[in-house]
Amino acid sequence: MDKIFKHLVSYFFIMAGALLASFSVACILLPNDAIDYGTAGIAIIISKLTGMNLSLCVLFVFLPFIIAGGFVLGRNFLLHAIAGSAVYMIGLEVFESIALEIDTEHFIAVAFGGAILGFGLALILKFGGCIDGSEILANIIVSKIAEKTNRNISMTGLLVAFNACVYIAAFFLINQSSALLSLLVYVVATMVIDHFTDHFDAIKQVTIISKNPGEIITWIRDEMHKTCTVMDSRGAVAGENKTLICYVTFFELQKLRETIGKLKDKPFITVSTIDEIIMR
């Protein structure tokens, strides 16, 4: 019952975050000549250029990323991503159909619209969902690099490069004002997201203390295709233990939590954000 309740809570907050994000885009950003970032930004550009329904554009652009994320990040991520994306598209459809447009001075719209968007996306990310394909793509690339080279890198550079392409496209295909306002939306939204998720695009160091770490080590190696450092340790009360240290992305961390939560022996786990790893 406790697990079912936690799942229901996660879906509730993911859907609430998706509604906030869709409200911000449909009622604040678009009426003030700004767009969302990531794959949603691509969908908005396509919609503006072709006249296609925005929700359908979001579906067509994001669907391949959802499928790829399901293969790489697992079933729970796939279900969370589908729930968040479905509510986001429904929200866009509903908020675009009603006469509710907060049309105000552009800078104020960018500040409040970006903050609401960022808070909505932070809720989605914090509870294991995602409605932006650029984050899934960056995670897949980082995971493959780690698998092939055993090097852990941050998603930050990949996300910045992806969104730079989106804003350059907006600059030339829509107009300069829209691109510059949208860039401010990105800055405000990511600041809010970072505040609530502790830099989700950075590398996460996971420290696991367990008496029987064999199953965890095997899963990290065989399922996540990552390595970890194993050290002998001793607790003042628990006695002899093993301490594991591994490095994962934000989305891989959700998958690791789910797997460890299924173990009978509950290990002690801490998570910290790493700004940089220097490789020799």
CA-wise closest residue to 138 among 187, 226, 202, 185: 202
User: Are 200 and 156 spatial neighbours (Cβ–Cβ below 8 Å)?
Assistant: no
pTM assigned to the model: 0.85
Q: Are 27 and 136 in the same domain? A: yes
Are 25 and 51 within one domain? Answer: yes
Domain finish residue from 166, 197, 228: 197
Taking alpha carbons only, the member of 131, 165, 129 closest to residue 24 is 131
Are 99 and 232 contained in the same domain?
Answer: no
Strands (E) across the chain are located at: 203-210, 229-235, 239-248, 268-274
Task: Report pLDDT for 11.
Answer: 92
Two tokens at 112?
């409040």
Please indicate, yes or no, whether residues 36 and 96 belong to a single structural domain of this protein. Answer: yes
174 and 234 housed in the same domain: no
Pair 71, 173 in one domain = yes
pLDDT on residue 213:
84
Q: Is residue 188 part of a domain?
A: yes
Write down the pLDDT at residue 279: 61
Number of structural domains the chain divides into: 2
Residue 15 lies in a domain: yes
Does residue 280 fall inside a structural domain?
no
Report the distance separating Cα 201 and Cα 198, nearest Å. 9
Q: Are residues 17 and 108 in the same domain?
A: yes
Domain boundary among 197, 228, 263: 197
Q: Buried b vs exposed e over 178-195: b needs ≥16 C-beta within 10 Å?
A: bbbbbbbbbebbbebbbe
85 found inside a domain: yes
- Would residue 55 count as lying in a domain? yes
Provide the token pair at 273: 């954000």
In this predicted structure, what is the pLDDT of residue 101? 61
Give the domain range for residue 113. 2-197
CA gap 165, 130 in Å, rounded: 20
Question: Looking at the structure, do residues 123 and 256 belong to the same domain, yes or no?
Answer: no
Q: What is the pLDDT of residue 61?
A: 93
Decide if 279 is inside a domain.
no
Q: What per-residue confidence (pLDDT) applies to 102?
A: 63
Going 14 to 16 to 21 to 25, the CA torsion angle's sign is positive
219 shares a domain with 184: no
Using only C-alpha atoms, the chain has a radius of gyration, in whole angstroms, of 20
Point out the domain boundary residue: 176, 197, 218.
197
Are 191 and 220 within one domain?
no
Q: Are residues 167 and 266 in the same domain?
A: no
CA end-to-end span of the chain, whole Å? 48
53, two tokens: 């329904």
Which amino acid type is present at position 99? A
Residues 186 and 247 in one domain: no
Mean pLDDT, contiguous 10-residue spans, the chain (280 residues): 79 94 91 88 92 92 89 84 93 84 72 92 89 87 79 83 92 87 90 86 89 86 84 84 90 83 80 76
Question: Residue 255 sits in a domain of what CATH number?
Answer: 3.30.70.260
* Inside any domain, residue 216: yes
Half-sphere exposure of 34 (CA within 13 A, CB side): 32
Q: In sequence order, what DSSP letters do the residues of 46-106 get, joined into one string?
A: HHHHH---HHHHHHHHHHHHHHHHHHHH-HHHHHHHHHHHHHHHHHHHHHHHSS------H
Residue 92 contacts residue 22 (beta carbons within 8 Å): yes
* pLDDT at res. 218: 87
